[in-house]
Amino acid sequence: MLLLDSFGARCAFALVCALGLTGTIAQAQAPYPTKAIRFIAPFPPGGTSDVLARLLAQRLSETLGQQLIVENHPGAAANIGHELVAKSTPDGYTLLLSNSSTLTTNVHLYKRLGFDPQADFAPISMVATAGQVLVVHPSVPAKSVAELIALAKAKPGKLNFGSGGVGITSHISGELFKSATGVNIVHVPYKGTVQAVTDLVAGQVDMVFSDFVPALPQIKGGKLRPLAVTATKRSAVLPEVPTMVEAGVKGYESGVWWALLAPRGTPNEVVARLNGDIDKIMKLPVVIDKYASLGISTAHSTPQAVTQRVKIETPEMGRVLKAAGVEPE
């Protein structure tokens, strides 16, 4: 009787194990995703990067069939949000919209980041690229880039430019302008480009190399004067505004790009799935048109292309910041 009970117990145990294993296999084979996804936007609300994050989250929610919950985690030049994602479980349920400023310049700005831009993430794809627009306050007596350069050279150290912060693209664009033209203009950093543009409208600074999102309403309202765009081609939303090269600044080009990332170790099949979805989304006419209305171009790439771009641009940004006298904090 004891033998029978023991045998029965072993059978019952084996059945439970089999059922448990079957459940595990079924769970492992469930198609990704099976629940909502956290989408970290490490930037202040209202800025270009935040707008892009919400547009992308909406489209990915539609293609994935699961909600993407956008969470803003701004601070420390986007380091806070990046560190959060770098330390998250690499299961495909935490994604990050990053940009070139954070991935290529922050390593030169901070002695401790809390994450490694090149080692702690699994790149998925590029998602957008954009130039900037040089805008001045109407009180600045310059109707063109040539006039602005002449004015700055006539008053060295008197004109200033606001930016979204040290090492942010709007700062890099200003430093490149200084080195390309030989002018002496003073950098005034803010905690975001939106704040810099707000103070520019108020006449607190003379100029800003701005993203299109915060600048366009002010340009259309006549509160700011655009002089040039920093990309190599004119913007569809400001077709009458010349490029820096057209305005006489030879070889000038500056801009920003955005990429979708996940924590390092995220399964390859998840990365491949998301990359394929990004490819489809960025080809949709409605997405192309929406991005264009913001002065932004859609983009798609392999994960390897994101990695390569970070490797190439990181030392380049280091040279620009060193020339500007910027030391890591």
Question: Over its length of 329 residues, how does the chain's per-residue pLDDT go in tens digits?
Answer: 444 444 454 544 444 454 454 444 444 457 899 999 999 999 888 888 899 999 999 999 999 999 999 999 988 889 999 999 999 999 999 999 999 989 999 999 999 999 999 999 999 999 999 999 999 999 999 999 999 999 999 999 999 999 998 998 999 999 999 999 999 999 999 988 999 999 999 999 999 999 999 999 999 999 999 999 999 999 999 999 999 999 999 999 999 999 999 999 999 999 999 999 999 999 999 999 999 998 999 999 999 999 999 999 999 999 999 999 999 98
Q: Does one domain contain both 113 and 50? A: yes
Give the helix/strand (H/E) hosting 173. Answer: helix 169-181
Determine if the pTM surpasses 0.85: no
266 Cα distance to chain centroid: 20
> Looking at residue 303, which CATH number applies to its domain?
3.40.190.150
Q: How far is CA 81 from CA 126, 136, 138, 302, in A?
A: 18, 32, 36, 23
Give the helix/strand (H/E) hosting 264. Answer: none
Q: In this predicted structure, what is the pLDDT of residue 20?
A: 52
Q: Does one domain contain both 266 and 207? A: no
> Looking at residue 208, which CATH number applies to its domain?
3.40.190.10
Print the domain residue range for 279.
Answer: 37-130+256-323
CB 84, CB 56: distance < 8 Å: no
Report CA torsion sign: 172, 177, 183, 189. Answer: negative
Q: Does one domain contain both 161 and 120? A: no
25 in any annotated domain: no
Q: Does one domain contain both 147 and 293? A: no
Q: Does one domain contain both 138 and 219? A: yes
32 in any annotated domain: no
Q: Does one domain contain both 60 and 105? A: yes
Q: In this predicted structure, what is the pLDDT of residue 312?
A: 96
Q: Does one domain contain both 194 and 142? A: yes
Q: What does the block give as tokens for 88?
A: 């998250």
46 in any annotated domain: yes
Q: Which of 177, 210, 229 is the last residue of a domain?
A: 229
Q: Does one domain contain both 147 and 125? A: no
147 in any annotated domain: yes
Planar angle of CA 78, 312, 96, nearest 5 degrees = 30
Q: Does one domain contain both 126 and 272? A: yes
Q: In this predicted structure, what is the pLDDT of residue 73?
A: 94
Q: Does one domain contain both 118 and 171? A: no
305 in any annotated domain: yes
251 in any annotated domain: no
Q: In this predicted structure, what is the pLDDT of residue 44?
A: 81
Q: Does one domain contain both 97 and 162? A: no
194 in any annotated domain: yes
Q: Does one domain contain both 74 and 44? A: yes
Q: In this predicted structure, what is the pLDDT of residue 48?
A: 85
- Count of helix runs (H) and strand runs (E) in the chain: 11, 11
58 in any annotated domain: yes
Domains in the chain, number: 2
